[in-house]
Amino acid sequence: MDKNFDFNQVGKRMPYSTPDDFFAKMQSNILDAVQDSTPKNMDYKANKRHVRKMLWPVSLSAAAAVAAMFVISMHLFSPKPSVASCSMHDVEQAFTQLSESDQTYILDVYQDDVFLNY
């Protein structure tokens, strides 16, 4: 690799050329094309907005329906604990294993419960 590389030796010539009136013609061509296509373009944008307005509620309701089905299926097919498997003997045994202060606290809360003692 040459360590004496100089950018000034590269030069500043353009690799391409354009006709003299190229940019003026390009501008007029673009303006003509835009003026001709404006009504079709506006109809397309209006239809696109209408589709978006209709698509949002439909997709939201579909997502809500899928979520509801998921929650309902989880609720229906989840294993339910059996009340019969827990007898009063088991509750009494668990209560006797508590400390005396915990037993007193549970009894006080039970006696002051608004929903049980109405």
Per-residue model confidence (pLDDT) at position 104: 92
Phi-psi region of 11 (alpha: psi -120 to 50; beta: other; left: phi over 0): left
Q: What would the mean pLDDT of 42-51 be, rounded to a whole number?
A: 74
Q: What is the pLDDT of residues 47-86, one digit of tens each?
A: 778 888 888 888 999 999 999 998 888 878 777 666 556 7
In a domain, 22, yes or no: no
What's this model's pTM, rounded to 2 decimal places?
0.31
Average pLDDT, the chain: 80
Q: What would the mean pLDDT of 83-102 be, rounded to a whole number?
A: 83
- Name the residue range of residue 99's domain: 87-118
In a domain, 71, yes or no: no
In a domain, 47, yes or no: no
Q: How many domains does the chain have?
A: 1
Q: Which amino acid is at 81?
A: P
Q: Which amino acid is at 43?
A: D
Long-range Cβ contacts of 1-8 (<8 Å, 24+ apart): none
Per-residue model confidence (pLDDT) at position 102: 92
